[in-house]
Amino acid sequence: MLKTTPFHPRTSALVRAQTWRRWAGYQMASAYDPHPDREYASIRNSAALLDVSPLYKYRITGRDAARLLDRTITRDMTKLKPGQVYYTPWCDADGKVVDDGTVTRLDESSYRLTSADSSLRWLHLNSVGMDVRVDDISERAGALSLQGPLSRAILATVSPLDLGSLAYFRYAETTIRGIPVGLSRTGYTGDLGYEIWVDAELAVPLWDALTDAGKPYGLTPAGIWALDIARIEAGLIMMDVDYYSSHHALIEERKSSPFEINLGWAVSAGKGPFNGRRALAAERTRGASWGFVGLEIEWESFERLFAAHGLPPQVPNVAWRTSAPIYDAGRQIGYATSGCWSPLLKKLLALAHLRSPYFEPGTHVELEITVEHQRRRADAIVRKLPFFDPERKKA
């Protein structure tokens, strides 16, 4: 039986289309309306409220808490100060990505790690001989993502925190109409936004406080479909869609290193021993065989494929999550893993894995498109990610 999040008493009544989906064992809304257009628009134009409670959440404490995390993740934990947040992958001994998520330093000696997949066993395996405690707080903590250009204005009406001083990827504890919460300047939309962490028993009052405060600002509850479009525009990768965890991959070819999925920037070149260090150092020297990039499908080429059948171009309003081959001169050089029509950019976009040297920005390739049950190829151009990166995100 699927679990429900602490916010389910409020969100369940809003799902008019009954578009439920499974996320990490939870029953979640794909969209509250039959289509995600209005919810997506709120992310980019006003503010959206997303329930992200199914994220796995672990509180790590003890003398060796930082040492455990430094052994596990690819970033240098000695540089993470209290109130700061890392986005990071973590790897196996061969330098292949197990998962990606965030590490928040809550105070001098305690941390919170979030992940897409269960990481409890992996943390315990890496903590042998250490003075550290790992608590799974996944079901004891609710999480909301408040995203969009008006998100700060909404929070300013309900929280005493000086939001102007909370920089990008920073964390603070505050209250929202008297409810104790943790607030991080993070999100999965590539826009100005915050993630709010709360004890599960206070979840419903928190939802009520935010939706009440957000009414004058056009705050809209949003589901996974809207989030999917936004994260593709932002070039943000999703496990089990854009890459496989090395713990789940059935064959070696399905595994990826951080350098192969556009996360090489998050691999420290100077820190001490950590999982995958030697393999990643060797890959840094020789260069990655694959690159993770954006594709912009050329509209006229796409339109011609439909016109050949007497049809107008068919543009999806929901992101797709299927593998689509990519070619150069008739030879397959990679594959796309997800894509969408961007309502904001007015372009067809895709996220893709390409072999070297085809992942260089500006490279012309062909993406396989199915039109009237026939496989055709549309022209596309390799773009550097992200597609959309507004100044307000970090301002």
Q: What is the pLDDT of residue 371?
A: 97
Contacts 24+ apart (CB under 8 A), 265-273: 266/74, 266/75, 266/86, 266/87, 266/88, 266/89, 267/74, 267/75, 267/89, 268/74, 268/75, 268/76, 270/76, 271/70, 271/75, 271/76, 271/77, 271/78, 272/70, 273/71
Provide the residue type at 231 as one letter.
Answer: R
Condensed to tens digits (0 to 9), the pLDDT of residues 83-93 reads 999 999 999 99
Condensed to tens digits (0 to 9), the pLDDT of residues 136-180 reads 999 999 999 999 999 999 999 999 999 999 999 999 999 999 999
Q: Is 350 exposed, middle or buried (0-12, 13-18, 19+ CB in 10 A)?
A: buried
Kindly give the pairing relationship between strand 219-221 and strand 47-51.
parallel
Length of the chain: 395
pTM for the model stands at 0.97
Cβ neighbors of 166 (< 8 A, separation 6 or more) are 172, 183, 185
Q: What is the pLDDT of residue 17?
A: 84
Structure tokens at 308: 């050949």
| Cross-strand pairs, 54 | none
Enumerate the H helices of the chain as residue ranges.
8-11, 37-45, 65-72, 120-126, 151-156, 203-214, 224-233, 277-286, 299-307
R_g over Cα of the chain: 21
Q: How far apart are CA 182 and CA 390, in angstroms?
A: 25
List the strands of the sheet with 219-221, edge to edge.
171-176, 179-184, 193-199, 141-147, 47-51, 219-221
Residues in the chain with pLDDT < 50? Answer: none
Diameter of the chain measured on Cα atoms: 68
Q: How far apart are CA 239 and CA 248, in angstroms?
A: 10
Nearest alpha carbon to residue 326 among 357, 362, 355, 298: 355
Q: What is the pLDDT of residue 1?
A: 86
